[in-house]
Amino acid sequence: MTIKTLSVLLSTLVLALQVSAFPQYGTLAGLDARQVERVVPTLNARVPPPPPGPPAFTGAKLVDDRDHPWRPLRQGDIRGPCPGLNTLASHGYLPRNGVATPTQIINAVQEGFNMVNNGAKIATYAAHILEGNVVTDLLSIGGKTSLTGPDAPPPASIGGISHHGTFEGDASITRGDAFFGDNHSFNQTLFDQFVDFSNRFGNGFYNYTVGGELRFHRIQQSIATNPEFSIRGFRHTTAYGEAAFIANIFVDGRKTGAEAHQLDMDSARSFFKDMRYPRGFFRSNKPTAGEGADIIFAAHPTEPGHNVGGVNSFVVDTSMGGVLDQCLFYTQLVNVTIKGLYPSPTGILRRNLNINLGFLYEAIGFPPSCPQVFPFGTN
């Protein structure tokens, strides 16, 4: 065997190892055509099935039940920035390893938290297209898993716009900004601040009033400390929605009247830190999602924007839309962000992207004045 053949053989082997190490849930978002061409043949391709509808029964019920015991993490289990999905995985409503199909996620958030059907579909398909593997129809709840090793795209180039192009974003309530090197983990200092605000503005409970103050404060903290802070488009929308989930979805469904939408601190700690239902938890008594986000926004309306020259250089940038312009936010998410993450998809990748984009648009249910956009053509 000549040196040349040997070196060709070796580099082929290295390549094969890299590709075989690429998990089935690893995302194709951000890969160039050459990388996609190598990875796709190693994947178990699947036609995405239509999304599930709402469940037959949508009232309150015990969800911390016998069939869904909480279990501690095992080696290799994946958890991420979403306390809702983390909890569902730790109780077995989702596969306990943290890897699921969009269908499994929609069914789990409906069953385990009574999340409203269209809200469940919007969040799930957006996350799947931005951070999941649309060829295998799998995504992990740990956020973006990209190709690693020498072939990996440089992080700043992912999406061609910046790492803020994914679902995960800045100014989270209990998680640090990506700029500080955090990777989705629970932050005790930030949780202490959550408790402090709940004491000061909610008499020991988190409610929309607390949400309004804390959401604003987290944005101010990020403006003052994170030179790369950004809250635009999709993230502007989710930042307000998630602050509302805490008062809607994490509150026991048997609480009504003055007790509704008031979350006690033991329950909050259970979800955020332990990824566990409070003992004997009942899910919401009606399908729900971001109700109250408007109250939280109205307390201190902050327009979308970003720091442009170091800390404390925040400028408003409404070009990607946000809570005040949902149609623009949809259009830019698909036409700019998602288009940028998939430069020139072909074959199964393009077909599955288009199917998932169709599910996303249908779930949002826009009036005809906000038409669907087709960054990868129609087929």
Ligand X SMILES: *[C@@H]1O[C@H](CO)[C@@H](O)[C@H](O)[C@H]1NC(C)=O
Residue 176 interacts with which of ligand X, ligand HEM, none, CB < 5 to 8 Å by class: ligand X
| Residue (43 or 115) nearer to ligand HEM, CB | 115
Does residue 267 interact with ligand HEM by CB under 6 A? no
Segment 317 to 356, residues that bind ligand X, using CB under 6 A? 331, 335
Q: Minimal distance in Å, beta carbon 378 to ligand HEM?
A: 26
Out of 24, 54, 97, 182, the only residue in the binding site for ligand X (CB under 6 A) is 182
Interhelix angle 102-113/83-90, nearest 10 degrees: 90
Residue 249 interacts with which of ligand HEM, ligand X, none, CB < 5 to 8 Å by class: ligand HEM
Segment 240 to 269, residues that bind ligand X, using CB under 6 A? 261
Beta strands 205-206 and 314-316 are unpaired
Burial label for 3, CB within 10 Å (0-12, 13-18, 19+), is exposed
Out of 152, 161, 265, 373, the only residue in the binding site for ligand X (CB under 6 A) is 373
Residue 133 interacts with which of ligand HEM, ligand X, none, CB < 5 to 8 Å by class: none
DSSP letter string over 49-113?
PPPP---S--S--B-S-TTS---PPPTT----S-HHHHHHHHTTSS-TTSEE-HHHHHHHHHHHH
Segment 204 to 233, residues that bind ligand X, using CB under 6 A? 207-209
Out of 79, 91, 163, 175, the only residue in the binding site for ligand HEM (CB under 6 A) is 175
Residue 113 interacts with which of ligand X, ligand HEM, none, CB < 5 to 8 Å by class: ligand HEM
CA R_g for the chain: 21
Question: Are the C-beta atoms of 42 and 19 separated by less than 8 Å?
Answer: yes
| Count of residues engaged in binding ligand HEM, rule: CB under 6 A | 26
Out of 171, 190, 243, 338, the only residue in the binding site for ligand X (CB under 6 A) is 190
Question: Are the C-beta atoms of 302 and 314 separated by less than 8 Å?
Answer: no
Q: Which residues of 251-285 are buried (b: 16+ CB within 10 A; e: fewer)?
A: bbbebeeeebbbbbbebbbbbbebbbbbeebbbbb
d(CA 246, CA 208): 9
Token readout for 93 is 């409503």
Cα separation values, 196 from 69, 189, 203, 204, 243, Å: 31, 11, 10, 8, 16
Does residue 124 interact with ligand HEM by CB under 6 A? yes
The enclosing H or E element of 357 equals: helix 347-364
C-beta neighbour count of 4 within 10 angstroms: 8
Q: The tokens 């077909």 sit on which residue?
A: 351
Residue 207 interacts with which of ligand X, ligand HEM, none, CB < 5 to 8 Å by class: ligand X
Q: Minimal distance in Å, beta carbon 133 to ligand X?
A: 19
Residue 83 interacts with which of ligand X, ligand HEM, none, CB < 5 to 8 Å by class: ligand HEM
| Residue (172 or 332) nearer to ligand HEM, CB | 172
d(CA 49, CA 102): 9
Beta strands in the chain (DSSP E): 99-100, 139-140, 205-206, 230-231, 263-264, 305-307, 314-316
| Residue (182 or 325) nearer to ligand X, CB | 182
Out of 84, 95, 233, 345, the only residue in the binding site for ligand HEM (CB under 6 A) is 84
Segment 226 to 255, residues that bind ligand HEM, using CB under 6 A? 238, 242, 245-246, 249-250
Residue 335 interacts with which of ligand HEM, ligand X, none, CB < 5 to 8 Å by class: ligand X
Does residue 51 interact with ligand HEM by CB under 6 A? no
Q: Which residues contribute to the site for ligand HEM (CB under 6 A)?
A: 81-85, 105, 109, 113, 115, 120, 123-124, 127, 167-169, 172-175, 238, 242, 245-246, 249-250
Q: Which residues contribute to the site for ligand X (CB under 6 A)?
A: 176, 181-183, 185, 187, 189-190, 202-203, 207-209, 261, 331, 335, 373
